């Protein structure tokens, strides 16, 4: 048999994956869950073997894009495509869905490979997760800085949820900044785009005391060179820092599925060391770690939705 009987994510499953209780799920999040098709099948036997072998072959062929220090070419092409899609769609924000969320392919769930019944399972799941995350952590701040804002997909949603807050989308290529600026011009949103380089942080950036920081799938691209950005955040003392990223430290190297994720993470030269550095800083009394939560859900390649939430000691908390 290639697959098991069909299963379905429950409300309790979503709470478990998010790291909260069912009572903590906002009504809007519950409504999104109720509207989705969450059926999936566990991949077993020959079907699972094909996935594993294909990933191993792709690793051997070095097919995956690799983080190269200072190389902006991929991002210039990628976010320029997103900008063109957005313009062609007449300013429709649904055109900003990141292309790395791919429909109709196997996913990772609860430490194994699954095949969703719905082609848009991952996008729907991400929208549910994002609704919960943004409503849970960003409701009481005046400024929200998304570093590595990319296609502007999250900036647009933040501005919709929090129209009184100023939403700043920062990226190191111009098309991304232009998308954020167009969101303000096209929809009257309180958004502002700005160039920013993780490797050479702009210390002149003004971050008011009641600010929060967000990264989603952005710090993964910093490889070994993320200390400068960590130092920058500690110096700026935002109220809260929320990172949704793949965390290689949290995989189980004795698990075949996790082993593949580790191999892919390393092959792509993705970031590492941040949780360990934060724990050392927490031991020194310089930061407070609010939450560390492995995702146990992700794309075919890796788990990209793990949560690492913290704040510098001395930042404003009310």
Q: What is the pLDDT of residue 318?
A: 47
Q: State pLDDT tens for residues 124-145.
A: 999 999 999 999 999 999 999 9
Q: What is the pLDDT of residue 221?
A: 87
Contact in structure between 184 and 28 (CB atoms under 8 Å): no
259 belongs to a structural domain: yes
What is the C-alpha to C-alpha distance for residues 317 and 310, in angstroms, rounded to an integer?
Answer: 12
Q: What are the residue ranges of helices labelled H in the chain?
A: 11-18, 27-35, 45-60, 73-88, 121-137, 153-161, 174-187, 227-236, 256-267, 274-283
14 belongs to a structural domain: yes
221 secondary structure, DSSP code: G
Q: State pLDDT tens for residues 217-268.
A: 999 888 888 999 999 999 999 999 999 999 999 999 999 999 999 999 999 9
191 belongs to a structural domain: no
Name the β-bridge partners of 39: 8
What is the C-alpha to C-alpha distance for residues 127 and 148, in angstroms, rounded to an integer?
Answer: 18
Give the chain's residues under pLDDT 50. Answer: 1-3, 318
Residue owning tokens 């000691």: 313
284 belongs to a structural domain: yes
What is the C-alpha to C-alpha distance for residues 28 and 224, in angstroms, rounded to an integer?
Answer: 38
**Count: domains in the chain:** 1
266 belongs to a structural domain: yes
88 belongs to a structural domain: no
Contact in structure between 74 and 65 (CB atoms under 8 Å): yes
DSSP secondary structure letters along 159-199? HHH-TTSEEEEEESSHHHHHHHHHHHHHH---EEEEE--TT
220 belongs to a structural domain: yes
Q: Is 299 helix (H, G, I), strand (E, B) or coil?
A: coil
* The pair of three-digit structure tokens given for residue 83, joined into one six-digit string: 């900008």
Domain that holds residue 24: 7-65+97-137+197-312
Q: Is 273 helix (H, G, I), strand (E, B) or coil?
A: coil
Rounded to two decimals, the pTM is: 0.94
57 belongs to a structural domain: yes
Number of H helices, E strands in the chain: 10, 12
Contact in structure between 26 and 135 (CB atoms under 8 Å): yes
* The pair of three-digit structure tokens given for residue 234, joined into one six-digit string: 């500690």
Q: State pLDDT tens for residues 204-221.
A: 999 999 999 999 999 988
């Amino acid at each position: 048999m290639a697959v098991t009987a069909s299963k379905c994510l429950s409300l309790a499953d979503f709470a478990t994956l998010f790291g909260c209780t069912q009572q903590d799920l906002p009504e809007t999040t519950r409504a999104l869950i109720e509207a989705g098709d969450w059926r999936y099948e566990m991949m077993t036997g020959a079907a699972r073997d094909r996935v594993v072998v294909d990933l191993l072959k792709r690793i051997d062929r070095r097919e995956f894009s690799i983080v190269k220090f200072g190389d902006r070419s991929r991002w210039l092409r990628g976010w320029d495509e997103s900008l063109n899609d957005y313009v062609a769609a007449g300013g429709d924000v649904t055109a900003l869905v990141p292309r790395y969320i791919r429909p109709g392919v196997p996913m990772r769930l609860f430490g194994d490979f699954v095949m969703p019944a719905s082609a848009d399972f991952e996008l729907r799941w991400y929208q549910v997760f994002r609704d919960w995350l943004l409503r849970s952590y960003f409701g009481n701040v005046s400024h929200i800085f998304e570093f590595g804002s990319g296609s502007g997909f999250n900036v647009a949603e933040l501005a919709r949820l929090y129209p009184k807050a100023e939403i700043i989308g920062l990226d190191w290529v111009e098309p991304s900044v232009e998308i954020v600026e167009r969101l303000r011009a096209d929809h009257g949103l309180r958004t502002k785009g700005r160039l920013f380089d993780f490797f050479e942080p702009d210390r002149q950036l003004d971050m008011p005391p009641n600010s929060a920081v967000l990264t989603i799938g952005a710090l993964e691209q910093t490889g070994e060179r993320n200390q400068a950005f960590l130092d920058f955040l500690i110096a700026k003392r935002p109220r809260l820092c929320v990172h949704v990223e793949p965390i290689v430290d949290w995989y189980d190297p004795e698990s075949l599925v996790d082993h593949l994720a580790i191999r892919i993470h390393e092959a792509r030269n993705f970031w590492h060391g941040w949780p360990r550095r934060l724990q050392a800083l927490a031991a020194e009394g310089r930061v407070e770690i609010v939450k560390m939560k492995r995702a146990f859900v992700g794309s075919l390649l890796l788990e990209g939705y793990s949560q690492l939430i913290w704040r510098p000691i001395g930042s404003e908390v009310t």
